[in-house]
Each structure stands twice: as structure tokens, then as C-alpha cells.
Chain A
């Protein structure tokens, strides 16, 4: 039963979602609403589950003195700090001027932005070390990246300011984004969509069962 019931739920919900797209009338519209509401409820519980799981793993790491356990201590302390401050301040914990809001604005926000900003350094370093004109395809990619990088900032138009408007770097970058890039994206997206349809059908029909935790 541990496998049959989840398979049955997956099958019914999957079929209803497909049917309600084409027949948005009773009973499928009602069933769609039920299942969507249930999905939101399950998703809300999943957030709790994720948070508790993070705590469990972090505590285990600290108690067993696994490698880099110090980072786990930081996770636990940060989690508890935000949770305690948030609960202590009650309903209006996110209002401006609260301690929670201060932690969000001046600790969480800069730290998150810093993590994202590090990307700039790695992109620059990776471009320097790996972006090579090794063959025709790589050269084409390199040229496209070159033109888009320069065309996406005002400097591009300053450098090509002497040229007619339609031939300046910003226009070239726009052309690359709108035509060759879009064509490539479409090919990738159509491929992904076809793969998704076949995988979804396999899951709905119970052929693909790896999401239940088994190997078969």
C-alpha cells in the first residue's frame, strides 16, 4: 500500500490537471481548485519540513564533529536568532523598525547580495581562463559574447558612435538576442517540453516510480 496509494494519487491528480485544461467545467474545475489548494497546503508544510530537516542535518554535523561543522553552528545560530526575534515581536514582526526588519535589511540582504555578487568575480576569472577561440564554434560563441557584453552597456554605443544607428553595438546586441539567441532558446525549450511531456506521462501512468524512493 505504501507504493499503490501514492501512485493512485499521482495518477488521479495528473489526469485531472490534464483534463481540466481542456474541459474547464464541472467537475474538473472544482477538482482542479481542490488539488491546487492541497498543493499550496503541502507546499507550506514542505517549507517547515525543509527548515526542520536543515536543523536536523546541522545539529548532526555539530554533534558528530564532521568537517566544516563550524558553518553548521552559524546556520543554527542564524536560524534560531531570526526565529526567536520574529516570534518575540508577534504579528507585526516584519513592520519597519522592528528588530526582525533590521536583521532582514542589514544582515540577510547584504549577505545574500554578496553571495550573488561573487558571481561577477568567478565569471571574470572563468572567462579569462576558459573562453578560448579553439575552433569555429567557440570563436562564434566568443564573438557573440563580446558583442552582447559591449552592446548591453552604454560604452558599446560610445565606441561605435561614428557608425549608423542600426549598426551600432546596441543594435547588434539586440539582433543577436532577438534572433540567433531566441532560435537557440526555442530549440532547447521545445526539447525540454517534449521530455517533460514524456516523463509526466510515465509518472502519471505509474511507469516511472523513482519519485517514490525506489529504484524501479
Chain B
């Protein structure tokens, strides 16, 4: 069979699988599926034994193909989604800082949340967005949402619609324009932040749905950053937390915390340790730690099991790779 034919068959299988999963999801069949404790244990032992077999085979000179690595990653990410294993979350100082900053705010304080990411980073950042907004509303804070990425405000709308379905949120009777506002997207990257330092309205004459800035009770008296009590930036790259720190924090003295993808988070530690950033949620684990503090089991906590498994599998393959490397007298390439 030719490579092209194999590719087409693979695409067809994935397409059929996706359609089946989608149908199961919309019909509600997928919702209740969960492995029992015994099945979960059997799966974990099976994966561990399979990795052990691969290590032994590698030491005997049989190297595994990279497609085997892909298969293990697929299993280690997908299967834990159906497991019900609780993990002990250890909260790091930087996550606690964000939580404390929100808790210390008086009810009615204004919080600016900038959604600087697109759907590609949503699996990591959307859970953070949801738990952060949820905590803000639980504390009766007023939330102003915006985005320096075109898809950011739409991600904010998705997060908002998810949390507003919650019974606790419904009881709060959250109203658009009074309790939260979505100012939408504005092109111009850090220049938007710079102009907001002197005048919000110059950058957002209308909100996301087209209502005039002055018609929104929550923001009509917000002139610039001096009217904002805390800011939280959800960022997946440029423009993002770095630009906010350099302009809004350094120049205008805005208090700010960050929620970053795991890839970007290491860069933010320089700002965090210098005190320019008041707290940081890094990747899925940061989101899970925040959910733990906020006493809320969200997507980050659920997905952490997959991340734990995936990390373990990657570590195992690094060990296997090095075993092959040393066995072959430090020469063989995989």
C-alpha cells in the first residue's frame, strides 16, 4: 500500500472517529463514561509494564520506532480523561499570590482581564480564565474584559457563558454592563496598552457588542489604569504579559498577575521575582493550583491527570533513549 493511501485511510479513520465522538457528546452518551478504580489500576500497570518491556528490548538492542512514542503519548493523554483518580495538588507561591491579590480586593473593586490568546492555547488558558472570573464574581468584583488578540474577546465570551451557567453564579444575578463588560479587541499591540494608560475610551469607543463606552455604567467613569484595582493577563505569546508589564506595570503602576502557557511561563519568573508581576499561573498545573485554592473543581484539575501521565511517559522515554545511547557506546542515533 502506498504512503498516500495510508495517509488517506488514517484521515478517514480520524474523521469517522471525530464524528462518532461528536454524536456521542451531543446525545449525552459520553457524559457518564468513567473507568472504575480497578480498570484504572489495570491500565496504569499495563502502561508501566509496556514501558518496562520497551526498556528491556532497548537494552537488548531493539530500538522503538517514534510512532510507538506517539502511541504511548496518545494513550497517556486520552485514557486518564476517563479515570477518576484524585491527586494531591501542591500550591506554589506564585499561584497563591494571584489568589491572595483577588481575595484582598474589596467588593466592587474593578478587575481588568485581558484575553491575549486564541483557541490554540485555550486548553491551557481557558480553565484559568473560567476559574479566575468565577472567583472574581464570587467576591463581587467588577470585571472588565478586553483582548489584544483578535480571538481573545470571543474566548472571554465562551468563558463567561460557561461560568454563568453555574447555579452559584445564577444566584449572583450578574448583569452585563454593571458587573462585567467585554470591551472587545483593539489592534495595535502594546500601543493599545500605552493609550489605555491615558485614556481607555480612545481605544474602545464601543464594546464587543457595539454599545457606546459611555452607555456602560461599569466603565463610563473608568478613565485609565488609575481606576483599575487589579489586572490579570491571560497570555500565549506576543502581545501578552511581557508587554503589559513593560507598559502598564512599569509606566503606569498597574497591579498585575499573569496566567501563561507552560511554554511562556519561565520567561515571566524574571518579572515575578522583581515584584513587577503579582502572581503567576503557569500552564495547566498553575490553573489546577488556582482551582484548588478557589475550592472549585474545574477543567484544569480534571486534565492534570493526563498531564501527569504524559510527563511520566516522556520521562520514561528519555530514560529509554539514554539507555540506548549508553548501550551503543554513545554513538547510535535513534
Assess whether B69 is in contact with A128, with CB atoms less than 8 Å apart. Answer: yes
**Pair B313/A124 contact, Cβ less than 8 Å:** yes
Would you call B202 and A128 a contact (CB within 8 A)? Answer: no
B318/A127 in contact, CB under 8 A:
yes
Interface status of A158 (Cβ within 8 A of chain B)? yes
* Main secondary structure on A side of the interface with B: helix
Report which B residues bind A (CB closer than 8 A). Answer: 22, 66, 69-70, 72-74, 77, 87-90, 92-93, 118-123, 150-151, 154, 157-158, 161, 186-189, 191-192, 194-195, 198-199, 202-203, 208-210, 251, 262, 266-267, 269-270, 273, 283, 285, 304, 307-308, 310-315, 317-318, 320-322, 325-326, 330, 333-334
**In the complex, what residue of chain B is closest to A114 when comparing beta carbons?**
B120
Contact at B269–A185, with CB atoms within 8 Å? yes
The distance in angstroms between the C-alpha atoms of A153 and B334, with both chains bound, is: 28
Contacts A124-B70, A125-B70 given: A94-B157 contact, CB under 8 Å? Answer: yes
Mask: chain A, 110-124; 1 = CB below 8 Å from B; 0 = not: 101101110011011
Contact A43 B187 (CB under 8 A): yes
A83: shortest Cβ distance to chain B, in Å? 14
Q: Are A127 and B120 in contact (CB under 8 A)?
A: no
User: Contact: B195 with A157, CB < 8 Å?
Assistant: no
Option from A121, A134, A178 in Cβ contact (under 8 Å) with B269: A178
Nearest-CB residue, chain B, relative to A92: B209
Bound Cα distance from A155 to B120, whole angstroms: 26
In the assembled complex, the CB of B58 is this many whole angstroms from the nearest CB of chain A, namely 10
Give the residues in chain A near B186, CB-CB below 8 Å. 40
**B92, A170: Cβ atoms closer than 8 Å:** yes
Do B266 and A120 touch across chains, with their CB atoms under 8 A apart? no
B314 close to A47 (CB less than 8 A): no
Interface membership of A60, Cβ < 8 A: no
Q: Are A128 and B66 in contact (CB under 8 A)?
A: yes
Contact B66 A125 (CB under 8 A): yes
A33-B199, A153-B312, A170-B90 known; 8 other A-B pairs, CB under 8 Å? Answer: A39-B188, A96-B157, A109-B122, A110-B119, A128-B334, A129-B334, A174-B92, A182-B273
Q: Which of A1-9, A72-80, A144-152, A201-209 contacts B (4 or more CB under 8 A)?
A: A144-152
User: When the two chains form the complex, which single residue of A44, A104, A155 contacts B311, counting CB atoms closer than 8 Å?
Assistant: A155
Known interface pairs A37-B195, A40-B186. Does A142 touch B318 (Cβ–Cβ under 8 Å)?
Answer: yes
Which of B121, B151, B314 is within 8 Å of A127, CB to CB?
B314
Q: Does any Cβ of B come within 8 Å of A186's Cβ?
A: yes
B88 touches A158 (CB 8 A): yes
For B307, the chain A residues whose CB sits under 8 A away are: 153
Among A81-98, those with CB < 8 Å from B are 91-92, 94-96
The interface residues of chain B lying within 8 Å CB-to-CB of A152 are: 262, 283, 285, 311
Asked if B311 contacts A115 (CB within 8 A), the reply is no
Closest 6 A/B residue pairs (Cβ): A40-B188, A154-B87, A109-B119, A112-B120, A112-B119, A43-B187
* Chain A contacts for B151, CB-based, 8 A: 104
**B188 surroundings in chain A (CB, below 8 A):** 36, 39-40, 43-44
Q: Report A-chain residues with C-beta under 8 Å of the C-beta of B77.
A: 120
Whether B88 lies near A128 (C-beta < 8 A) is: no
Residues of B within 8 A of A186 (CB): 270
The answer to whether A146 and B304 have CB atoms under 8 Å apart is: no
Q: Does A18 contact B (CB under 8 A)?
A: no
21 A–B pairs (Cβ distance < 8 Å), ordered by A: A37-B202, A40-B191, A43-B187, A43-B188, A43-B191, A44-B187, A44-B188, A96-B161, A116-B120, A116-B123, A121-B69, A121-B73, A124-B70, A129-B334, A131-B321, A149-B311, A153-B312, A168-B90, A170-B92, A181-B269, A182-B270
